[in-house]
Amino acid sequence: MTQSTNPRVRTGRDTADSSWRVAASQTVGYEVRFCRDVFAPDRTDLLEAGASPESRTSRRFVVVDERIDELFGTRIRQYFDHHGITHEIMTIRSGEAHKELDVVLRLLERLEKFGVDRRREPVIVVGGGVAMDVVGLAASLYRRGTPFVRVPTTLVGLVDAGVGVKTGVNFNGHKNQLGTYAAATLTLLDPSFLATLGRRHLSNGLAEILKVGLIKDAALFAHLERHGRLMLDEKFQGTSPDGRRAAATILDAAITGMLAELEPNLWERTLERSMDFGHSFSPTIEMLGLPSMLHGEAVCLDMALSTVLAWQRGLLAAEDCERVFSVMSALELPAWSPLHTPEALARAMRATVRRRDGRQRMPLPAGIGHCLFVDDVTEEELTAAAETQRAWALDASAKIR
Ligand SMILES: NC(=O)c1ccc[n+]([C@@H]2O[C@H](COP(=O)([O-])OP(=O)(O)OC[C@H]3O[C@@H](n4cnc5c(N)ncnc54)[C@H](O)[C@@H]3O)[C@@H](O)[C@H]2O)c1
């Protein structure tokens, strides 16, 4: 309240004319921590999160991505058994098509049945962006907010979905249309999960890393140029000394860059967000491309188009554009899609303008590692850019081969 002792603002002589103004604020704090081999028996990071040592209980509700359960389910169960934790494991299917409200409702039913104690028993999620978004939403709804702890297992999860505060599910044909802002108490980053991740999903995560490099960190961009392909080959496991150094540098820079942009604008009140780079057209294109298109692929298509738009406006030199397209190709990401039709792009732009309160606020690269925002992209400009995008993408992939 503006005045803690007397919030009443008397506007007239009568009490019937009174009004009260309330203003409260809440500090949000959470931790993102590297934790190698999070399920090693001697590791206790996961169990120490979300409750004080005095109040901690020995029960946990754990949500695990179905594929992670197949790969690591035994190890996960052994870990909780080893620590004497009574646990219930619920597996959920991921992939964009399963990111729906009914999964959240099923999870809420299970939480209710388990009788989660929201002061002592943080819900644990082990999985990719879909599992974390679903669990984050359910946890933020359950009893108006139940703590949760995340263990991302995909590259998108490690550098993006696992570090911010957004939760959500798709609704009514729109991506992440239902959601909340809810911080996980702790995110434990264990890159060893990436050893089992498919190559295409690694590329998918590299798209979000490329976003950070292209728009705010030229050194990160250069690392991707030099070592991006090695990261794909070694799955960030540091098989070679070069690969080990590059994996650590790239993950560190991507997460630092992402958090530096998120922290001052956690609730996205400022609508000019550099991390929206690659997310102007992609929400519409990704939904059109389902079930086969991945999030990072749609983001990369958008970044490629935005790169051409920047070049058309004299913000980016032709040689820099060539570097961008060849990195995309080296990372095995699509830089053009037949879905980039004039109609789809115009529709995507309209949807983005609605989301961004009536203005385009479109981030474009202004030299590699920097960005600015524009508001006046025309449909003609988009059509021309998509044509150039196609030519450049074909050219870059021919050179890589
Ligand atoms: N909340 C946010 O701020 C935020 C940010 C970026 C992306 N996202 C969301 O994240 C989602 C994409 O995340 P994603 O790419 O992690 O997708 P995902 O969760 O669907 O996982 C991709 C696939 O990898 C499998 N998988 C997960 N870990 C594995 C492992 N270690 N080994 C082998 N297979 C594994 C999964 O079963 C799934 O089939 C999108 O829905 C996007 O909207 C959210």
Q: Which residues are catalytic?
A: 166
- Residue 87: pLDDT band by 50, 70, 90 thresholds? very high
Instruction: Give residue-wise pLDDT tens across range 275-298.
Output: 999 999 999 999 899 889 999 999
Least trusted range by pLDDT, from 6-10, 83-87, 348-352:
6-10
Across 73-84, average pLDDT: 97
Instruction: Give residue-wise pLDDT tens across range 138-163.
Output: 999 999 999 999 999 999 999 999 99
Q: How far is the CA of 81 from the centre of ligand 1 (A)?
A: 27
Which residue would you say has higher pLDDT here, 47 or 10? Answer: 47
- Reply yes or no on whether the pLDDT at 54 is more than 80: no
Across 43-51, average pLDDT: 89
Least trusted range by pLDDT, from 14-23, 150-159, 211-220, 298-307:
14-23
pLDDT of residue 310: 98
- Position in ligand 1 atom list of the atom nearest CA 66: 37
Q: How far is the CA of 40 from the centre of ligand 1 (A)?
A: 23
- Position in ligand 1 atom list of the atom nearest CA 99: 41
- Residue 17: pLDDT band by 50, 70, 90 thresholds? confident
- Residue 13: pLDDT band by 50, 70, 90 thresholds? low
pLDDT of residue 3: 43
Percent of the chain with pLDDT over 70: 96
Q: How far is the CA of 364 from the centre of ligand 1 (A)?
A: 26
Q: How far is the CA of 139 from the centre of ligand 1 (A)?
A: 18
What whole-number distance in Å separates Cα of residue 100 and Cα of residue 130?
10
* CB distance 307 to 325 below 8 Å: yes
Instruction: Give residue-wise pLDDT tens across range 328-384.
Output: 999 999 999 999 999 999 999 999 999 999 999 999 999 999 999 999 999 999 999
Domains of the chain by start residue, with CATH: 31-196 (3.40.50.1970), 199-400 (1.20.1090.10)
Residue of 93, 126, 133 to mutate, ligand 1, most atoms within 8 A of C-beta? 133
Pocket of ligand 1 (CB under 6 A): 65, 67-68, 71, 94-96, 99, 127-131, 133, 153-154, 156-157, 160-161, 164, 166, 176, 193, 196-197, 201, 204, 295
Q: How far is the CA of 298 from the centre of ligand 1 (A)?
A: 14
**Closest residue to atom 20 of ligand 1, CA basis:** 95
